[in-house]
Amino acid sequence: MDLHAEATSEKVAMSHFLDGKISALVGTHTHVQTADERVSSLGTAYISDVGMCGIKNSVIGLDTEVALNRFLNKEENLGFKIAEGDEARVNAVLIEVDESDAKSKKIIRLQESVLFS
């Protein structure tokens, strides 16, 4: 399950509520990969935020200048311009699930930088 929520507390609470009922709960929304991955004793894999895939030199994937203008000058009507660049950040998780009982055995965080040439 992908839980798109702002607060880590919401995601952790939901992981306890669904513990043993689902194979995995991965949080999204903040675009910053957390280091709290775990597999519960009931077999549910969890991480608060899986992270993002996007240009490394950006504001969570958005063009830096546009984002700064939104914050510093309160310019609301700038839209969203995707950042450009030669280096991307790729965040993901690998989750090993036992086919016989749908319980997770392992969750591994992946964080790589990729250069485009």
**Encoded tokens for 21:** 């009922």
Strand order in the sheet with 2-4: 2-4, 24-28, 45-47, 38-39
Residue at token pair 């895939």: 53
Share of the chain above pLDDT 70, in %: 100
Q: Mean pLDDT in the chain?
A: 94
Residues 71, 82: Cα–Cα separation, whole Å: 16
Q: How many domains in the chain?
A: 1
Domain span including residue 38: 2-115
Sequence-ordered list of residues with C-beta below 8 angstroms from that of 18, at least 6 positions apart, any chain:
1, 25, 44
The CATH number of residue 14's host domain is 3.60.21.10
Share of the chain above pLDDT 90, in %: 86
- pTM score: 0.88
- Residue 78 above 80 pLDDT? no
